[in-house]
Amino acid sequence: MVRYKLSMKRPVFQTRKFLVDSFGDVDKELAFMASYGIADISRQGLYKQWSRESIPSDLFPLLVALLEIEHGAPVSLVKWLK
C-alpha cells in the first residue's frame, strides 16, 4: 500500500479543481450527466455547486463512478487533496 504524505493534518479536497479538471465548465458537466441519463439537476443547481465549491454527498460518488466508466479505469482523488 502506498502512503501519501500530506502537508496538512487534515487534508482538504479541492472541489473546484476537481470539477474544472473533470468537466471544464458547468455546461460540459450538465451534458456529461445528461449523456448518462441524469436530468434531474438544473444548470442553476450545478452553477451553485461550482460557485460554492461543494458537491452534494449523494452526487459525488455518482460523478466519480461515471468518470470511471468514461475513462475505463479508477479515478484517483489524491491529486485533488491539499
Report the share of the chain in percent with pLDDT over 90. Answer: 84
pLDDT of 4 above 80? no
Report the share of the chain in percent with pLDDT over 70. Answer: 91
C-alpha to C-alpha distances, 48 to 17, 51, 54, 61, 63, nearest whole angstrom: 15, 5, 8, 18, 16
C-alpha cell at 79: 491529486
Q: Where are the domains of the chain?
A: 15-80
Q: In this predicted model, what pLDDT tens digit does every residue of 6-41 receive, in sequence order?
A: 665 788 999 999 999 999 999 999 999 999 999 899
User: How much is the pLDDT for 60?
Assistant: 96
